[in-house]
Amino acid sequence: MTTTEAPGAYLDHAATTPMSPAALEAFVAEAGRTGNASSLHSAGRAARRVVEESRESAAAALGARPSEVIFTGGGTEADNLAIKGIFWGRRSQDPRRRRVLVSAVEHHAVLDPAFWLAGHAGADITLLPVDGEGRLDLDALTDELAAHGDEIALVSVMWANNEVGTLQPVREVARIAHRHGVPVHTDAVQAVGQVEVDFAASGVDALTVTGHKLGGPVGVGALLARRDLPLEAVSHGGGQERGVRSGTLDVAAIRSFAVALREAVDARGERATALADLRDVLVAGVRRVVPDAVLRGPAPDATTPSGDMARLPANAHFTFPGAEGDSLLYLLDSAGVQASTGSACQAGVPQPSHVLLAMGVEETDARGALRFSLGASSTRDDVDRLLEALPGVAERARAAGLVSTRPGGVA
């Protein structure tokens, strides 16, 4: 039995992106070898060598020290380790540290463990507001820290939003939080490979990255964490990875992840420019063929006060008035165009995006959302195929929406 890539235009790279040939080759090569990286015999030592070389490579690509790289089973595990591990570590030092500050537009891999702590470990969660483009309100963060600094365990603000592509002021967040002695975690899953991500230069204390967003395999990632950061284990067993992430290391996945990460970081400058150019064609085209579609997040050419880009180069997120996102998605899929209603982890859930609601988008408008995300394999043909299909798809989705709101209509 053979497998082939799905036909048509794939515009959902933010959910997962194809493995690069180099990463796939590395994975296959390591998967054919035997050896537990915790074993002391020669096969085990060879596996350990691969892991440590991969750790050094990942650290160099992200501006970290090798000892700061903790391999995990992906971004969700890394986020859980950061939110729960830092909370428990800080609270063990000072029982007053019960508050957790997270932005209102975080991925559920951050929001859900935070609210789990509220329900099971006595945490108090504060959702930090954002503006209409999804950018964190730094004044709100400053006020929370000034009022409750001695009670705050950690702050978590993502580097780049997975739905609307907004880049957050991570360096400013770290600078403000550190005035009060509060550590900062950032989920950089969407940012790595698209914008410069330097762990040391950013000032954050912990950072999440995953493999399958940048050309590596699913099921592997890392949490970068400062050595002096209080971090309690979430899983227990063999004591691997600094004792905070037990479990037999997946040597093949780790090696493949390191190769993909190095490749993505090295190609970032040229690739980001090409992706931004293609995204601009996509944005202009969508506005032309569906004039009332609304781009969400910063404008493609928007910059921050410091002069940096305000939006990921590969992201275009629209809402389509009068249409349901799920209808748009399935109709596009039938036309050979694969996109997303937002976070892949929420696909199929009939509720509007919490990100859009936090940005002040009305619920009826938020239901008509589509995210188009580009990657290394994206082409102008992909965009052209979308633009050819989209007008008819939008018309049919709106018609379906009208039928579902009539008495006796089918939703």
- Amino acid in position 82: A
Backbone angles phi, psi at 43, to 5 degrees: -65, -40
Backbone angles phi, psi at 172, to 5 degrees: -65, -40
For residue 342, give the nearest of 316, 303, 361, 364 by alpha carbon. 316
In the numeric block, the tokens 């002096």 are attached to 228
Both tokens of 396, joined, read 């049919």
For residue 296, give the nearest of 374, 350, 348, 353 by alpha carbon. 353
Backbone angles phi, psi at 320, to 5 degrees: -120, 105
Active site residue: 345, 349, 399, 403, which one?
Answer: 345
The Cα–Cα gap between 403 and 340 comes to 23
The beta strands (E) that lie in 226-346 are given as 294-296, 315-319, 337-338
The Cα–Cα gap between 163 and 310 comes to 14
The Cα–Cα gap between 366 and 36 comes to 48
| Cβ proximity of 254 and 21 under 8 Å | no
| Cβ proximity of 169 and 310 under 8 Å | no
Q: How many other C-beta atoms are found inside a 10 Å radius of the C-beta of residue 33?
A: 13
Both tokens of 312, joined, read 């990921």
| Cβ proximity of 37 and 44 under 8 Å | yes
Both tokens of 399, joined, read 């018609």
For residue 323, give the nearest of 307, 338, 296, 341 by alpha carbon. 341
The Cα–Cα gap between 257 and 54 comes to 8
Is 345 among the catalytic positions?
yes
In the numeric block, the tokens 């790289």 are attached to 69
- Amino acid in position 216: G
Give the helix, strand, coil percentages of the chain, each rounded to 5: 45, 15, 40
Burial state string for 91-112 with b = 16 or more CB within 10 A and e = fewer than 16: beeeeebbbbbbbbbbbbbbbb
Both tokens of 300, joined, read 């493609």
Please list the active-site residues.
345
